[in-house]
Amino acid sequence: MRIAILGGTGNIGEGLALRFAADTSHSIVIGSREESKAADSADSYESRLANHGIERAIEHADNTTATVDADIVVLAIPPHHVGDTIKTLGEQEALADQILITPAVGMRGDGAGLHYDPPSTGSMTELVAKRVPDSTTVVGAFHNLAADRLADFDADLGVDTLVMANDEEARQQVIDLGNELTGIRALSAGSLVNAAEVESVTPLVINIARYNDDMHDVGVKFS
């Protein structure tokens, strides 16, 4: 499979790119608004992997080109820019029958910590599903993973990720992809209408990390 990570130059994009490259044989393409920025990140991830003893080519492209050629597209973009990014991809007819994974979570902060701040659609995942063409299948996943922990090859992940989709086949495909990553167990959380519950766990884990020693980049494990 060919996996494009849009905004793959950022935090969660880096973590997912490194783990996908280290643990799977899928082609990985780093997307960016600027192709040169994607190229720099791809080079840097290849070096990180090589230093870890993994020789792996990471491709790069602008977000639109990366999307057109992909089987799976990960929308690793800050929540406030997700809508505009989908609009641009739509105008350029880049989205067709791909699976589009969104890890986006709307949050706001105050002195006490971070709080879940979903859009009026109920969740970011449902917002994405409303904005894409009918032919594109939206799957919510990777919301509760900590980017820095993913990017740290020495970190023992040992965490779960929850996957939502209305299309059962696509949901299973992303569960299978998540389970290819060492230390991650992907579990179904049902259809997209359940995404708000999953997204709302993200500010919780960030607040736990803030208020407790030795809980940096904490994740969720169900047992």
Ligand X SMILES: NC(=O)c1ccc[n+]([C@@H]2O[C@H](COP(=O)([O-])OP(=O)(O)OC[C@H]3O[C@@H](n4cnc5c(N)ncnc54)[C@H](OP(=O)(O)O)[C@@H]3O)[C@@H](O)[C@H]2O)c1
- 83 lies in the binding site for ligand X (CB under 6 A): no
Contacting ligand X (CB under 6 A), which of 21, 105, 132, 141? Answer: 105
Candidates 115-123, 138-146, 167-175, 188-196; binding stretch for ligand X (CB under 6 A) = 138-146
Least distance between ligand X and beta carbon 14 (Å): 8
Q: Which is nearer to ligand X, 47 or 168 (CB)?
A: 47
Candidates 46-54, 97-105, 114-122, 181-189; binding stretch for ligand X (CB under 6 A) = 97-105
- 115 lies in the binding site for ligand X (CB under 6 A): no
Contacting ligand X (CB under 6 A), which of 4, 18, 49, 104? Answer: 104
If we measure between CA atoms, which residue out of 91, 32, 20 comes closest to residue 57?
20
If we measure between CA atoms, which residue out of 101, 96, 172, 170 comes closest to residue 135?
96
> CB count, 10 Å around CB of 143?
26
Contacting ligand X (CB under 6 A), which of 78, 87, 168, 208? Answer: 78
29-48 positions binding ligand X, by CB under 6 A = 32-33, 37
φ, ψ of residue 34 in degrees (nearest 5):
-120, 120
Interatomic CA distance for residues 161 and 198, integer angstroms: 9
Contacting ligand X (CB under 6 A), which of 3, 4, 5, 7? Answer: 7
Strand 107-110 to 113-116 pairing: antiparallel
Six-digit token string for 60: 């790069």
Interatomic CA distance for residues 182 and 108, integer angstroms: 31
Least distance between ligand X and beta carbon 143 (Å): 5
- 9 lies in the binding site for ligand X (CB under 6 A): yes
- 10 lies in the binding site for ligand X (CB under 6 A): yes
Amino acid at 31: G
φ, ψ of residue 54 in degrees (nearest 5):
-115, 115
DSSP labels, 85-152: HHHHHHHTT--SS-EEEE----EEEETTEEEE---TTSSHHHHHHHHS-TTSEEEE--TT--HHHHH-
Candidates 18-26, 50-58, 71-79, 185-193; binding stretch for ligand X (CB under 6 A) = 71-79
Q: Are 63 and 6 in contact (CB under 8 A)?
A: yes
- 81 lies in the binding site for ligand X (CB under 6 A): yes
Contacting ligand X (CB under 6 A), which of 3, 4, 13, 151? Answer: 13
- 11 lies in the binding site for ligand X (CB under 6 A): yes
Interface ranges with ligand X (CB under 6 A): 7, 9-13, 32-33, 37, 76-79, 81, 84-85, 103-105, 142-143, 145-147, 202
